[in-house]
Amino acid sequence: MCGIVGYVGSRNSVPILIEGLQRLEYRGYDSAGLALIQDGSLMVIKKAGKVVDLVDLIGDANLCSHLGIGHTRWATHGEPNDLNAHPHWDCNKEIAIIHNGIIENYATLKTKLEHDGHRILTATDTEILVHLIEEMYKRADDLFTAVRLALLEVEGAYGILVISKREPDKIVAARKGSPLVIGLGENENLVASDAAALVDHTRQVVYLEDGEVACLTASSFVTKTIHDQEIIKQVEEISFDLEQIEKGGYEHFMLKEIHEQPESIRNSLRGRLLVHDGTAKLGGLEPVLDTLYKAQRIIITACGTSWHAALVGKYMLEQLTGIPVEVDYASEFRYRNPVINPGDVVFVISQSGETADTLAALREAKSKGATAIGIVNVVGSTIARETDAGVYIHAGPEIGVASTKAFTSQITVLSLISLLLGRNRGLPQDQGCKLANDLQSLPEKVAKIFGEASHIQDIAEEFKHAQNFIYLGRGSNFPTALEGALKLKEISYIHAEGYPAAEMKHGPIALIDENMPVVFIVPKDAIYEKVLSNMQEVRARKGRIIAVANEDDREIDSLADHVIRVPRTYSYFGPVVNSIPLQLLAYYIAIARGCNVDQPRNLAKSVTVE
Ligand code: F6R
């Protein structure tokens, strides 16, 4: 959730840290701060608000430091104010820490530390940790050891960077549950919670694992477990460009990422779709293919938008493979002692690959003997590394907090898996070819929808003052409706609900009146007529209908107040196409209401706390 960056080397760390924080601001943005070692002294500068407020605070101060750490916060313990902003320091102001995660036993540690004379000034769990390190520093020879010893007493999740003015050339980093990646440069080393902050400086990276502690100087790094065993780490190469994480002429990351979808879907399919054979080839699944072919049941677990993609996956997988599929919120799965039988395969879907609940669900599934398959975007992320096998969605970096291109790529990858398994379980080749052709045409169909943008903008203008929205769809467009509603509430703060269209008459219909906009996803599929009946029911109660319908559908004109046209798509893959206008509608409504779409209130990308 929080953004972390550290630098040690021959250059001035300050602009590097600020720029890194700006790249990481999507992870949290309620306060920001730096700790620097300058001329042998340790200074901390921090401020509630955005990174730009920190930059204003620094103003013309001539800061020049060759070692520093920076943080952008998403508050968990303690309100977002100047005092609670990171970095935090110890009683003697010799050690500074930044932290992402939650120290669960902080209350017990706090009582003990206060009893030992430590003065705790903030409401954060992080400050407890720096005092614990201070305590350990009294008996350890160096900061590296002190941090290690302190972490042995900590329960919870952390990605931390710690510096001390007594060892002015070192950054100590440690992770458990919150990602950290070290960037190796020439006469400099960096460390960050996300490779996005490093890519400008180096492509050589080392991913820290849970339970590992690293000590960085400008010319070296050492890694140990918290139990003092030295580990040799593998150096890996970052594969994405800086350009991919910049706005590229768009006003917002979200709009850029919506428009990237033809390309991101193409990338998800690239080299995997065998159109002539009517099947797919997924190298990442090869180690588990036998198990997968014989699966008795598939359980898909995820959170938020990724959970919606999982629901779409259920429709496709069950229809094309005949394997029963269950979809579970990761946060529920992890605590409900789920029944896992031999022959069950668990799919874990996550854009970031770091979501705490999803990671815990994965570990729960594995501890019960399930084969776990990851469908992940961020390469090298924890979920990607801990699953038995997996398929990267290759959507490219997603910076906008509201997920867009990851959703359509997740569905694309689920389609490929459905096709592969379906063919193995008896789906005829001609049907496989038809599906493969349809999949291949998705990028083109998605690109066509951008022609509707100004029409959607007009609709957004008309409905920008609405207080509620209902989204309705059936079949695999029910999860599309859920996703449309989620996008709207996330970025415009309008209350929105998604329902299966037929479910409306069992309750939500009571809400329909002339002030209620109802978005219907109504492609010409097998249940088209049924959805038309649901539209009639809304119309009879004067609800205002926005329909997402096929280009050649004229019947819809007499029922809907507004029609957004989308190309026809085979029904299982329809959500990829149908979700695009819903993303645009949410975006334009949020803009019309003056909302910050890339950094909506209370949210953060990558939810690494429970
Ligand atoms: C919504 C959104 C969230 C995420 C959820 C899971 O736009 O982005 O609902 O989908 O927090 O995140 P990942 O996919 O990173 O596990």
Alpha-carbon span 597 to 589, nearest angstrom:
10
Other residues' Cβ atoms within 10 Å of the Cβ of residue 251 = 12
Note the pLDDT of residue 74.
77
Q: Which atom of ligand 1 is nearest to the CA of 407?
A: 10
**Domain assignments of the chain as residue spans, ordered by start:** 3-238, 247-427, 451-595
Note the pLDDT of residue 328.
97
Q: Smallest Cα–Cα separation from 124: which of 21, 213, 33, 8?
A: 33
Note the pLDDT of residue 608.
72
Is the per-residue pLDDT at 77 higher than 80? no
Q: What percent of the chain has pLDDT over 70?
A: 98
Give how far Cα 451 sits from Cα of 219, 391, 446, 562, Å. Answer: 53, 32, 10, 16
Q: How confident is the model at residue 201 (pLDDT cuts 50, 70, 90)?
A: very high
Note the pLDDT of residue 189.
98
Are β-strands 204-207 and 212-216 bridged in parallel, bridged antiparallel, or unpaired?
Answer: unpaired
Question: Going by CA atoms, what residue is nearest to atom 7 of ligand 1?
Answer: 402
Alpha-carbon span 573 to 568, nearest angstrom:
10
User: Beta partners for 488?
Assistant: none
Residue 201, SS3 per DSSP: coil
CATH code matching the domain that covers 451-595, chosen among 1.10.287.1080, 2.40.30.10, 3.40.47.10, 3.40.50.10490: 3.40.50.10490
Asked whether 164 lines ligand 1 (CB < 6 A), one says no
Asked whether 400 lines ligand 1 (CB < 6 A), one says no
Asked whether 304 lines ligand 1 (CB < 6 A), one says yes
Asked whether 362 lines ligand 1 (CB < 6 A), one says no
Based on the residue annotation, tell me whether 91 is a catalytic residue of this protein.
no
Angle at 566 between CA 414 and CA 274, to 5 degrees: 35
3-238 and 247-427 share one fold:
no
| CB 34, CB 68: distance < 8 Å | yes
Is the per-residue pLDDT at 279 higher than 90? yes
Q: How far is the CA of 294 from the centre of ligand 1 (A)?
A: 30
Q: Which atom of ligand 1 is nearest to the CA of 410?
A: 14
- What single DSSP character describes residue 26? G
Q: Which two tokens stand for residue 226?
A: 């918290």
- State the distance between the two ends of the chain, measured CA to CA, in whole angstroms: 11
Based on the residue annotation, tell me whether 2 is a catalytic residue of this protein.
yes
pTM of the predicted structure, to 2 decimals = 0.79
For 144-198, write each residue's pLDDT tens digit. Answer: 999 999 999 999 889 999 999 999 999 999 999 888 999 999 999 999 998 889 9
Other residues' Cβ atoms within 10 Å of the Cβ of residue 297 = 16
Is the per-residue pLDDT at 344 higher than 90? yes
Mutate to test the pocket of ligand 1, among 194, 351, 482 (most ligand atoms within 8 A of CB): 351
Q: What percent of the chain has pLDDT over 90?
A: 82
Are β-strands 221-225 and 279-280 bridged in parallel, bridged antiparallel, or unpaired?
Answer: unpaired
| CB 320, CB 421: distance < 8 Å | yes
Considering 47, 314, 405, 605, which one is annotated as catalytic?
605
Note the pLDDT of residue 244.
67
Alpha-carbon span 426 to 573, nearest angstrom:
20
318: left (phi over 0), alpha (psi -120 to 50) or beta: alpha
Contacts 24+ apart (CB under 8 A), 563-569: 564/452, 564/455, 564/456, 564/459, 565/452, 566/445, 566/448, 566/449, 566/452, 566/523, 567/445, 567/448, 567/449, 568/523, 568/524, 569/438, 569/441, 569/442, 569/445, 569/523
Asked whether 355 lines ligand 1 (CB < 6 A), one says yes
Q: How confident is the model at residue 247 (pLDDT cuts 50, 70, 90)?
A: confident
Q: Which of 396-400, 531-535, 559-563 has the lowest mean pLDDT?
A: 396-400
Calculate mean pLDDT across residues 420-439. Answer: 96
Are β-strands 3-9 and 67-73 bridged in parallel, bridged antiparallel, or unpaired?
Answer: antiparallel
CATH code matching the domain that covers 3-238, chosen among 3.30.70.250, 3.40.50.300, 3.40.640.10, 3.60.20.10: 3.60.20.10
Mutate to test the pocket of ligand 1, among 607, 608, 609, 610 (most ligand atoms within 8 A of CB): 607
Q: How confident is the model at residue 599 (pLDDT cuts 50, 70, 90)?
A: confident
Asked whether 303 lines ligand 1 (CB < 6 A), one says yes
Q: At 31, give phi and psi (nearest 5°).
A: -165, 165
Alpha-carbon span 259 to 246, nearest angstrom:
14
Q: Which atom of ligand 1 is nearest to the CA of 304?
A: 9
Q: Which atom of ligand 1 is nearest to the CA of 305?
A: 10
For 375-429, write each residue's pLDDT tens digit. Answer: 999 877 899 999 999 999 989 888 899 999 999 999 999 999 999 999 999 999 9
Is the per-residue pLDDT at 572 higher than 90? no
Alpha-carbon span 69 to 163, nearest angstrom:
8
Alpha-carbon span 69 to 61, nearest angstrom:
17
Strand boundaries in 75-154, DSSP class E: 88-89, 95-103
**Which CATH superfamily is 247-427 part of?**
Glucose-6-phosphate isomerase like protein; domain 1 (3.40.50.10490)
Mean pLDDT, the chain, integer? 94
Mutate to test the pocket of ligand 1, among 27, 328, 355 (most ligand atoms within 8 A of CB): 355
